[in-house]
Amino acid sequence: QLQLQESGPGLVKPSETLSLTCTVSGDSISSSLYYWGWIRQPPGKGLEWIGNIYNSGSTYYNPSLKSRVTMSVDTSKNQFSLSLSSVTAADTAVYYCARQEDIVLPKFDCWGQGSLVTVSS
């Protein structure tokens, strides 16, 4: 059974870099069928797509965050990661990792439970 699990610090100081890792179990991140993505939800607000990464390392970022986002994949550990630099309080959110399947059309068919990251000094 496919499972995704986010991990990383729950508290980050302003101006520092937020780093999260998503560990995938039950499927290989090297599969050619899928992209792997990050989505976030600030408290009381809607969901925001951050970006996707393919197993080759090709990335697709939301233009609103592109200047601060870096995603990477580690196929040996079956993990993919998110880095968001120069964070502010506006980056406080629950961060989700998800698998995107593109058969028929793109859709996030499996999500992690989410990881709350608070930006505060």
Partner 1 sequence: DIQMTQSPSSLSASVGDRVTITCRTRQSISSYLNWYQHTPGKAPKLLIYAASSLQSGVPSRFSGSGSGTDFTLTISSLQPEDFATYFCQQSYNTPYTFGQGTKLEIK
Q: Which residues bind partner 1 (CB under 8 A)?
A: 4, 39, 46-49, 60, 62-64, 96, 98, 104-114
Q: Which is nearer to partner 1, 42 or 83 (CB)?
A: 42
User: Least Å distance between CB 112 and partner 1?
Assistant: 6
- 3-state class of 113 per DSSP? coil
Q: Which is nearer to partner 1, 16 or 108 (CB)?
A: 108
> What are the residue ranges of helices labelled H in 37-115?
none
The residue count for the chain = 121
CB-CB contact of 78 with 97 (8 Å): no
Q: Which of 109, 112, 84, 107 is nearest to 97 (CA)?
A: 112
Biggest alpha carbon–alpha carbon distance for the chain: 45
Q: Which is nearer to partner 1, 15 or 118 (CB)?
A: 118
User: Least Å distance between CB 111 and partner 1?
Assistant: 4
User: Least Å distance between CB 13 and partner 1?
Assistant: 27
- 3-state class of 2 per DSSP? coil
- Give the whole-angstrom CA distance, residue 50 versus residue 53: 10
Q: Which is nearer to partner 1, 13 or 45 (CB)?
A: 45
User: Least Å distance between CB 87 and partner 1?
Assistant: 19
